[in-house]
Amino acid sequence: MKGFFKLIGAGFIGACFAFGIFSWNQSNDFQALEVSNAHQVNDLNVSPSSLGALDFVEASKSATQAVVHIYAEESDQLAMQRRQQQSQQQRRRDPFGGFFDMNDFFGGDVFGQNFYRPRNGTGSGVIISDDGYIVTNNHVVGFADYILVTLADGRKIEAEKIGTDPSTDLAVLKIKESNLKEISWGDSDDVQIGEWVLAVGNPFDLTSTVTAGIISAKGRDLDIIKGDKTIEEFIQTDAAVNPGNSGGALVDAKGNLIGINTAIATPTGVYAGYSFAIPSNLVSRIVDDIMEYGGSIERTNLGIYTFDIDKSLKEEMNLKVDEGVFIDAIEKRSAAQFAGIIPGDVITSIDGQKIKNGDDLVELMKFKKVGDVLNVEIVRKNKKKKIPVALRKGI
């Protein structure tokens, strides 16, 4: 019998050790993805041959005045609410999981991961208006209810969180100040691979740090933003960025904002050659949404499963349309179901915009939010019909 209990004890210790290694690896992966930065570029193509010795002095002076240091902290109350929400979500996924919670068993501290301890961190932000609006990454401030901004001149000012968009990893803050130095916007659509760019931020809490590199690629979809409905169109650069650069500015050789530094590709958690930024044109659009609606923007979808229409599908289903998306199934309690859309319908347009295939539908739905009402045109039994669809929060 003693041997039996020794065996059980050894098994339990081994399980805990394995869990600890898994947790440690998960923590490192999280850091490598979230405490990074990216770049973006401008409409000026600068090369050594055209300028001789490169000079980024004026661009650096302009950009550093508009980039701030951010300290974000979570209160005890918010930390407890987060833990309770995580437990509820876990129980919904696993109804029996609530009977044995490793975090509760170890007092909320498993191999150094205290799920009750308030989180804190630092990052960067960019002043986008002279009256105190600042854009940064959601992962820098999304968890926090206390945010302190340090300006380039050393002034420390508490900030208010205006709103966030987790799907793009962006957030907007506001400080009560005026006559601030704001960044000038560039056009990220015009940037070209090979252009020189500067990354401006506060890596490792080293304030007002500037590094230079070139645009390495555009339109990167890295699948690193958490969530079911995310928007990724990263600009890739080789300007050195590190933890603390997140939320800082990627500017062109004139100092114009072309991106918000967001992520790094790294096996170690620090810069390893490439970084990624959210393009300024996307940033501008999301900032406008946050300013207009406030709070956290929730992206959503119709809740449908579709096929593109081709010759074989037309013949099989006796369809009289050449383009559109055929609805094969509908999620329960989705926006489509509540609006009265049914399997077998064919969506041909939304809000007057033609839907030729699934790619068109994905592109159109990309920026749609909970509460938006869409005018969806369908073909049902070869007859056209218009249905208003109110987008709902995902279940």
* Cα distance between residue 167 and residue 186, in whole Å: 23
* Cα distance between residue 37 and residue 67, in whole Å: 14
Domains and CATH numbers, the chain: 35-74+119-297 (2.40.10.120), 304-390 (2.30.42.10)
Q: 211 is written with which tokens?
A: 């590094």
HSE (CB half, 13 Å, CA atoms) of 3? 0
Catalytic machinery residues: 139, 169, 246
Please give the angle made by the CA atoms of 158, 164 and 170, to the nearest 5 degrees. Answer: 95
pLDDT in tens, the chain (395 residues): 445 444 444 444 444 433 332 222 333 332 333 333 333 333 344 444 444 457 899 999 999 999 999 999 998 887 777 777 666 656 555 554 444 444 444 344 444 455 567 889 999 999 999 999 999 999 999 999 999 999 999 999 999 999 999 999 999 999 999 999 999 999 999 999 999 999 999 999 898 999 999 999 999 888 878 776 788 899 999 999 999 999 999 999 999 999 999 988 887 888 888 899 999 999 999 999 999 988 889 888 899 999 999 999 999 999 999 999 999 999 999 999 999 999 999 999 999 999 999 999 999 998 999 999 999 999 999 899 999 999 988 65
Q: 91 is written with which tokens?
A: 């129980």
| Backbone region of residue 302 per phi and psi (left: phi > 0; alpha: psi in -120 to 50; beta: other values) | alpha
For residue 80, how far is the Cα from the chain centroid? 24
